[in-house]
Structure 1
Amino acid sequence: MSNSYGTTYYSEAYNNREHQQNLKYKNKLKKLKKLIKDIVVENSALCDEVSRMQENLVVVKEERLMLLRRLCQLQGEVDLGTLCAKSQMGSSSSPVANSDTHTPKKSAKKRSSVETPDTKSKPKRSSKISKKVVQLIPLDVNGRPIFPISLGDLTVYSLGDVVTDRIAYHTEDLIFPVGYCSTRVYASLKDVRMKSLYTCKILDGGMKPRFEIVSDTDLDQPLVGSSPDECHLRLLATISPSLSSVFPKGADFFGISHPTIQNLIQSSPGTRKLINYKPQKFEISKSSDITETNPAGEEDPSLGFAALHRHYALPSAFVIKQEPSNHGLISFQELLS
């Protein structure tokens, strides 16, 4: 009996000790799992913070470039590339830049004695041709344009957002920002004698942008196309079959090719990421008139209402009616709805 009692005692003690060890390891395992979970959560939070700071850094860089371009507009400087290059240079490269600026002066003096006046005038002529004249527009305290921007018959209400991940949303010389919206006065679809307000919009159409022209007299039937020229050609053909032979100028009708608007779109964030787009050079107009119009656009029958009636013969009894008063026009909010 004593031997059996001893064996049961030792077996129970061994089982109790093993059970206590298991409980201790279970508690340690729980603590380790909790610690790992806390570390994973903290790591994910740090990763989110890093990605957020990187996005903010990209936005700040884009805003800095936009402010530099605004500064160029105010100071009347033309060569924006040199200013951007100077802004991106570090303090370590400043003495090298100063040394480089002294050496070209000597070489310029030597070249001036050899070059003829004809050779000097050639690059100046080419530079004037490649630059586009932009008009001064009102800006807010942050250097951003104040909407709406009125340019004659063209009024721009929104520049939209530049799309960088789809190649069809830009060409070598034009950018099609999603959300761009403008209005233009032209001949009505129902009566050529009447003026009508057309709303031009660029929408997200997937792989290709969607262009729309909507008349205030026919809001339910927008003229849709995959390019500005296609929309403009449909508008001309709808107004009159005789206008179908007119060469379309959709970018001019939308206003995205206007130098002032094109300069603003080019200054928007994200344009440096565009693959095929070649940045244009702009020159500030010396005229103090902010609402100065483009005479070439007004003389074009495909863009101007008065030019349309001047270039196309109309019956003698055909009288051009005046545009309706402001209270008779549909508000811009109704056009966008």
Structure 2
Amino acid sequence: MKMLSFNSDMHRKYFKTDPENEKYKKKHKRMKRTIKDILFENAALCDQVALMQERILIVKEERNFLLKKLQQLQPTAGKKVSEVEHSTINQTSVSDIMSAPNMLSSKKPAPKKRANSDTTDSGKSNVKIKKPPNVKAVNVKRKKIVQQIPLDTTGRPIFPIVLGDITVHSLGEVSDRSEYYTEDYIYPIGYCSTRLYGSLKDPEQRCVYTCKVMDGGMHPRFEIVADTDLDAPIVNQSIDQCHTMLLHQINKCLGSEVISTKGRGADFFGLSHSTVHHLIQSSPGARKCQGYIWTKFEVSRSSDMSGTEENEASLSYSALQRSILFSKSHSEIMIKEEPDVDENFGDDSVSFTEIFC
């Protein structure tokens, strides 16, 4: 009995319940419960944010794809509207012309057979005269064939774009300043391409030229840099003059006029290539170029497209080598023939003097 009483006293002494401790225990349990709830709520919010970010990316890709399709359809839509307007004008003019002979015939009576023949003849003749010429060729050039190029998931081209000797690294941004476009081409700021051609130091050796269009203020700044001479870029405000300066240096290195120095800068830079031309025309900002005439393009089913520039010595490396070989062989033939001509002329002169003497 004494042992039991001792144990109960110890329990009361060491394990007695204090009302203040109970209060703090309840607060501690409540805090743990609220922390768990906050953690679960935070995890749920993070999952929801990740899901919304994925949806936003999908919507952005769809928007870019639709924007590109809209830009491709806008030139053809504008052409169709102009054709409809011209067709309505033609119909009204023809109806007015056809009604005019009937008014004349009502004023001047004539036999029925002759009146009908006169009205039909005059109507036909007037229709031929009043027909407006070149209705379909208003602000639209002839169709060009575009090469198929790889695209990413958003419909944008994958760089670099390899097109024969030309490699396009950037299309740049289209500017609405008047000097940065013509009726034929647009010169976007930041455009960059590379081309294989003869070196300035030795035209028989292959060299890589980097062609850039840069912001020069009111006028664009065209630059051609050879990888063999990076410290001496060829710079000019005219793209054709920039190409002409390059050809002059090639001829100077060869010591003769091997190639024509007529500038074809848009061809050398790659801006005239149908695929590059189509991509620049479809880029945002091209609609602001008011003086530019839009070109209609059609995608080629065959991936092999041979351009005419392969036969131009001012653009193609292989054609340049053929011109150099031809000029060398021609000069060697001329050097060999010159002494023979002089000797023959001397023999002929002696024979003539002998005969006349």
Same fold (TM over 0.5): yes
Matched, 1:177 2:168: no
Equivalent position to 1:67, from 69, 74, 86: 69
1:248 corresponds to: 263
Q: Which residue identity lines up with residue 276 of structure 2 in the other structure?
A: I
Q: Which residue identity lines up with residue 196 of structure 1 in the other structure?
A: C
1:218 corresponds to: 229
1:153 corresponds to: 165
Give the Å deviation of 1:126. 11
The 1:125/1:161 distance shift into structure 2, 3 A limit, reads closer
Q: Deviations over 1:242-268 (max 9, x none)?
A: 157432211000011111001000001
Larger radius of gyration: 2
Q: How does 1:149-298 map to 2 (within 5 A)?
A: 149-164=161-176, 166-241=177-252, 242-243=257-258, 245-287=260-302, 289=303, 292-298=304-310
Structure 2 runs not aligned, ≥5 long = 1-61, 92-123, 125-133, 332-357
Q: Does structure 1 retain, via aligned residues, the 8 Å contact 2:190–2:213? A: yes
Whole-angstrom CA distance in 2 between matches of 1:129 and 1:260: 15
The 1:277/1:146 distance shift into structure 2, 3 A limit, reads same
Give the Å deviation of 1:146. 0.5
TM-score (norm 2): 0.54
Whole-angstrom CA distance in 1 between matches of 2:77 and 2:160: 26
Give the Å deviation of 1:223. 0.3
Whole-angstrom CA distance in 2 between matches of 1:62 and 1:140: 11
Q: Does structure 1 retain, via aligned residues, the 8 Å contact 2:313–2:323? A: yes
Q: How does 1:52-131 map to 2 (within 5 A)?
A: 64-69=66-71, 79=76, 81=78, 130-131=142-143
The 1:186/1:293 distance shift into structure 2, 3 A limit, reads farther
Whole-angstrom CA distance in 2 between matches of 1:206 and 1:303: 29
1:22 corresponds to: none
Whole-angstrom CA distance in 2 between matches of 1:308 and 1:143: 37
Q: Does structure 2 retain, via aligned residues, the 8 Å contact 1:186–1:303? A: yes
Whole-angstrom CA distance in 1 between matches of 2:205 and 2:220: 31
Structure 1 counterpart SS, 2:190: coil
Q: Does structure 2 retain, via aligned residues, the 8 Å contact 1:140–1:146? A: yes
Whole-angstrom CA distance in 1 between matches of 2:138 and 2:179: 30
Whole-angstrom CA distance in 2 between matches of 1:244 and 1:151: 24
The 1:172/1:128 distance shift into structure 2, 3 A limit, reads closer
TM-score (norm 1): 0.57
Give the Å deviation of 1:295. 2.8
Q: Does structure 2 retain, via aligned residues, the 8 Å contact 1:232–1:249? A: yes
Structure 1 counterpart SS, 2:328: coil
1:26 corresponds to: none
Give the Å deviation of 1:205. 0.4
Greater relative contact order, per chain length (Cα 8 Å cut-off, separation 6+): 1
Q: Percent identity?
A: 49
Q: Which residue identity lines up with residue 130 of structure 1 in the other structure?
A: R
The 1:63/1:81 distance shift into structure 2, 3 A limit, reads farther
Q: Does structure 1 retain, via aligned residues, the 8 Å contact 2:141–2:293? A: no
Runs of 4+ in 1 over 4 A off after TM superposition: 60-65, 122-129
Whole-angstrom CA distance in 2 between matches of 1:299 and 1:223: 24
Give the Å deviation of 1:308. 1.4
Whole-angstrom CA distance in 1 between matches of 2:67 and 2:294: 13
Tell me the matched-pair count.
222
RMSD: 3.6
Matched, 1:140 2:152: yes
Equivalent position to 2:328, from 298, 315, 327: 315
Which one has a larger percent helix, Structure 1 or Structure 2? Answer: 2
